């Protein structure tokens, strides 16, 4: 059991300890619920949208986050001065810092999230693994805590190669090291421990069998103070580059109703094992035989939460606020019904033709796509300056359709409609992806973007027929929504192709 440090307290004013699109998203939910909002801003965010949109705004310091958005004492002080009874951390910054949740608790401020104890356990990947494993959650075969190098070397042959050396304090791909044969292992242990010690101040490492050709699929869970837990289905997050997700979708091409139910139940068990409260996400690896393994839990609202909102109708941020106010979840598991398909493209200020080099500068003009099935979550505006201080996310473009095909067609339309001047963006990357037959036929894993996708060449189309066949087979096997495949070129005939496939697969 966790030491349960959670405040049960209503509040009608909330401090948003974040910036950009997620600050806007939180303020919008507060507006709808009649909660007053307090924004904070650094020097470069004086004119930011979240500052103008909030009911009050307080200056918090220099642009560098560690002197502003990351300073716990300043945030607690501003909450107290403004009379905010709660703080929403968003994602990034202080969202997964147990000491921040603890500081809020000690100041009598509701932290919109789980307890410091839950964050602490899930933040230590080895402890998280042990805790969920004890609750019956499948984890990747690996080693127990507390082993020295000799014991790790001894354990390796039973796991089988390739092996991943992971840092307990890591996560999100940090401090991971692949080992392909026994004679590399001893060196890898020494190097990984030294790296982890330097990066996290904690040199604890462990071994896991590497699961190759796997997908990253995560389950959204919600938990209230009354012991109710529900899941909102899965998000497919395999399309990543350097551990940064670029496109997410819900549902996943490979998850059928039976698998969804099993993964959902397991995700809830994982959340229960730490007495989890509020919104959280259980990350799984799913191998090509559809075995799934717990990877990590994210103890915050995630960037990609909108795709789940669109297919479930559940407003996740509103639900977070209700939970924090001590209310019961508005949904029982049987109320959660998936409908349609949603895809999110992260529009980043970067140059996809130059190794995704970050692009800074002032956005002089921006015209955002709208219309049926299109949602934009954005914190930028004409005159907004993209700096190197914060992440390069300009906006999230999320498209909904009754079928995967319809969502893709809308995404193509919306990407063409998107106009932005002043910085380079990865819109061409997304357009290229929407033409990729592997994407269209759902044939990708976590290595796809980095290993098989290039902006400079078209994919070889020799697999096209196989892709089409796989799509049809998957469909016949009872996938609820349709899939489409198409050749690579974005010309008129391609468009005819797409709508024909889209119709065929309804």
Pick from 35, 101, 140, 449 the residue near ligand MV4 by CB under 6 A.
140
d(CA 74, CA 78): 6
Nearer to ligand MV4, 138 or 313 (CB): 138
Cis peptide before 162 (omega within 30 of 0): yes
**Annotated active-site residue in 25, 193, 300, 410:** 300
CB of 58 to ligand MV4, least distance (A): 35
Contact 251, 236 (CB under 8 A): yes
d(CA 346, CA 366): 16
Cis peptide before 251 (omega within 30 of 0): yes
Name the residue among 303, 422, 417, 420 with its Cα closest to residue 359.
Answer: 422
- Segment 452-471, which members bind ligand MV4 (CB under 6 A)? none
Nearer to ligand MV4, 378 or 446 (CB): 446
Pick from 29, 250, 268, 295 the residue near ligand MV4 by CB under 6 A.
295
Q: Pairing state of beta strands 292-298 and 278-286?
A: antiparallel
Q: How many residues does the chain have?
A: 506
d(CA 156, CA 208): 9
Q: Pairing state of beta strands 36-42 and 56-61?
A: parallel
Nearer to ligand MV4, 289 or 334 (CB): 289
Name the residue among 290, 283, 153, 132 with its Cα closest to residue 218.
Answer: 283
Q: Does 349 bind ligand MV4 (CB under 6 A)?
A: no
Q: How far is CA 68 from CA 65, 78, 100, 389, in A?
A: 5, 12, 14, 11
Name the residue among 252, 279, 251, 248 with its Cα closest to residue 396.
Answer: 248
In degrees, to the nearest 5, what angle opens at C-alpha 237 toward C-alphas 232 and 239?
160
Pick from 45, 234, 296, 406 the residue near ligand MV4 by CB under 6 A.
296
Nearer to ligand MV4, 63 or 138 (CB): 138
CB of 142 to ligand MV4, least distance (A): 7
CB of 504 to ligand MV4, least distance (A): 32
Pick from 50, 88, 216, 437 the residue near ligand MV4 by CB under 6 A.
216
Q: Does 173 bind ligand MV4 (CB under 6 A)?
A: yes
CB of 220 to ligand MV4, least distance (A): 16
d(CA 485, CA 436): 9
Task: Find the part of the chain contacting ligand MV4 (CB under 6 A) among 38-46, 202-210, 246-254, 346-354.
Answer: 202-210
d(CA 113, CA 122): 13
Distance of CA 325 to the CA centre of its chain: 25
Nearer to ligand MV4, 124 or 208 (CB): 208
- The verdict on whether 476 is a catalytic residue reads no
Nearer to ligand MV4, 283 or 406 (CB): 283
Q: Does 178 bind ligand MV4 (CB under 6 A)?
A: no
Q: Does 143 bind ligand MV4 (CB under 6 A)?
A: no
Q: Does 234 bind ligand MV4 (CB under 6 A)?
A: no
Task: State the number of CA atoms in the 13 A half-sphere of 497 facing the CB.
Answer: 15
Q: Does 172 bind ligand MV4 (CB under 6 A)?
A: yes
d(CA 44, CA 494): 45
- Segment 273-292, which members bind ligand MV4 (CB under 6 A)? 283, 285
Q: Does 263 bind ligand MV4 (CB under 6 A)?
A: no
Pick from 210, 342, 380, 393 the residue near ligand MV4 by CB under 6 A.
210
Nearer to ligand MV4, 138 or 326 (CB): 138
- Segment 402-461, which members bind ligand MV4 (CB under 6 A)? 446
CB of 174 to ligand MV4, least distance (A): 8
d(CA 194, CA 284): 28
CB of 210 to ligand MV4, least distance (A): 4
Six-digit token string for 469: 């066949």
**Catalytic site positions:** 300
Where along the sequence are the contacts to ligand MV4 (CB under 6 A)? 140, 164, 172-173, 208-211, 214, 216, 240, 243, 283, 285, 295-296, 446
């Amino acid at each position: 059991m966790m030491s349960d440090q959670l405040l049960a307290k209503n509040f009608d004013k909330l401090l948003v300890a974040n910036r950009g699109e997620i600050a806007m998203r939180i303020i919008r939910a507060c507006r709808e619920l009649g909660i007053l909002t307090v924004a904070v801003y650094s020097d470069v965010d004086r004119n930011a949208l979240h500052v103008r949109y909030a009911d009050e705004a307080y200056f918090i310091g220099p642009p560098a986050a560690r002197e502003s958005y990351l300073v716990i004492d300043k945030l607690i002080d501003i909450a107290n001065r403004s009379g905010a009874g709660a703080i929403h951390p968003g994602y990034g910054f202080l969202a997964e810092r147990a000491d921040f949740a603890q500081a809020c608790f000690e100041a009598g401020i509701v932290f919109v999230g789980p307890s410091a104890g839950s964050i602490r356990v899930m933040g230590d990947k080895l402890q998280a693994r042990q805790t969920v494993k004890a609750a019956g959650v499948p984890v990747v075969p690996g080693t127990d805590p507390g082993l020295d190098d000799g014991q790790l070397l001894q354990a390796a042959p039973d796991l089988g190669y390739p092996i991943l050396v992971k840092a307990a304090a890591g996560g999100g791909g940090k401090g991971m090291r692949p080992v392909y044969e026994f004679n590399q292992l001893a060196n890898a242990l020494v190097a990984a421990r030294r790296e982890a010690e330097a990066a996290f101040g904690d040199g604890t490492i462990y071994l896991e069998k590497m699961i190759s050709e796997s997908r990253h699929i995560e389950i959204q869970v919600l938990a209230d103070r009354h012991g109710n837990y529900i899941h909102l289905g899965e998000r497919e997050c395999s399309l990543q580059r350097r551990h940064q997700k670029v496109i997410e979708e819900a549902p996943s091409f490979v998850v059928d109703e039976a698998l969804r139910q099993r993964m959902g139940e397991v995700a809830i068990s994982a959340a229960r094992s730490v007495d989890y409260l509020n919104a959280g996400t259980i990350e799984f690896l799913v191998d090509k035989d559809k075995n799934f393994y717990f990877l990590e839990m994210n103890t915050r609202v995630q960037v990609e939460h909108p795709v789940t909102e669109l297919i479930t109708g559940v407003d996740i941020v509103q639900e977070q606020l209700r939970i924090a106010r001590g209310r019961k979840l508005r949904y029982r598991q049987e109320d959660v019904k998936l409908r349609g398909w949603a895809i999110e493209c992260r529009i980043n200020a970067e140059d996809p033709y130059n190794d995704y080099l970050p692009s800074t500068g002032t956005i002089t003009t921006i015209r955002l796509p709208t219309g049926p099935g299109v949602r934009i979550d954005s914190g930028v505006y004409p005159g907004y300056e993209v700096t190197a201080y914060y992440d390069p996310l300009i906006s999230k473009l999320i498209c909904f359709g009754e079928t995967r095909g319809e969502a893709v067609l809308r995404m193509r339309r919306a990407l063409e409609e998107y106009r932005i001047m002043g910085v380079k963006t990865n819109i061409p990357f997304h357009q290229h992806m929407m033409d990729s037959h592997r994407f269209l036929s759902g044939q990708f894993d976590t290595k796809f973007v980095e290993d098989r996708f290039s902006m400079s060449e078209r994919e070889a189309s020799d697999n096209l027929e196989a892709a089409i066949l796989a799509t049809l087979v998957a469909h016949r096997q009872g996938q609820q929504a349709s899939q489409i495949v198409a050749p690579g070129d974005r010309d008129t005939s391609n468009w005819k192709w797409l709508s024909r496939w889209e119709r065929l697969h309804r």
